[in-house]
Amino acid sequence: MVLTALPLAAAEPTPEPPIYIESDSLKIDDSKGISIYQGNVIFRQGPDTLWADKLVIHSTARQEVDKIVASGEPARFDHDAEVEDEKSWGEAQTIEYHAGESLLILNGAARFQQGDNLFSGNRIEYEADKELVRAGKAVAGEGRVQIVIQPRSKDTEQQPEASPQ
């Protein structure tokens, strides 16, 4: 998966779904391992969709995706997971995904929502494999972060079982 980490099946690894990209123009430099897509870019892989004005994909020598950098006004992504609490979306002037670290970085007017919880600030970092979000001055060096955490509904909280009488 490219933008966020999906839970992996314990029995055997599932193959990654194909990547589909649409854009107005494309430049590939195999010697540097860089592909540049510009103009109304739409990137799709499995449950993930990314929209940007410009998308740069950095690949390893083995032609595996190493890093993705999307920019726009704003660049946006959507992760449509099967479980409601795992659905997420985000937007920022620049969105970076570092595949090796499962690290998502949103820079510039950043907003990130996972489930019902919303984070906003100048810079937000999300480590997908650790489910760790970092934002604020310690991360960006400037600005404030805002967080909206929705309360759990009474229906989703576990109720103690009634004792037999």
Q: Flag whether pLDDT at 15 surpasses 60.
A: yes
| pLDDT for residue 70 is more than 50 | yes
Residue 56 lies in a domain: yes
- Kindly state whether residue 165 falls inside one of the protein's structural domains: no
Q: How many domains does the chain have?
A: 1
In a domain, 62, yes or no: yes
Would 156 be classed as within a structural domain? no
pLDDT in tens, 101-157: 999 999 999 999 988 889 999 999 999 888 888 886 555 556 677 777 777 666 555
Tell me, what's the pLDDT at 139?
Answer: 55
- Measured CA to CA in angstroms, residue 104 lies from 14, 111, 123 at distances of 22, 12, 11
Q: Would you say residue 102 lies in a domain?
A: yes
pLDDT at 160: 47
| Structural domain range at position 28 | 19-148
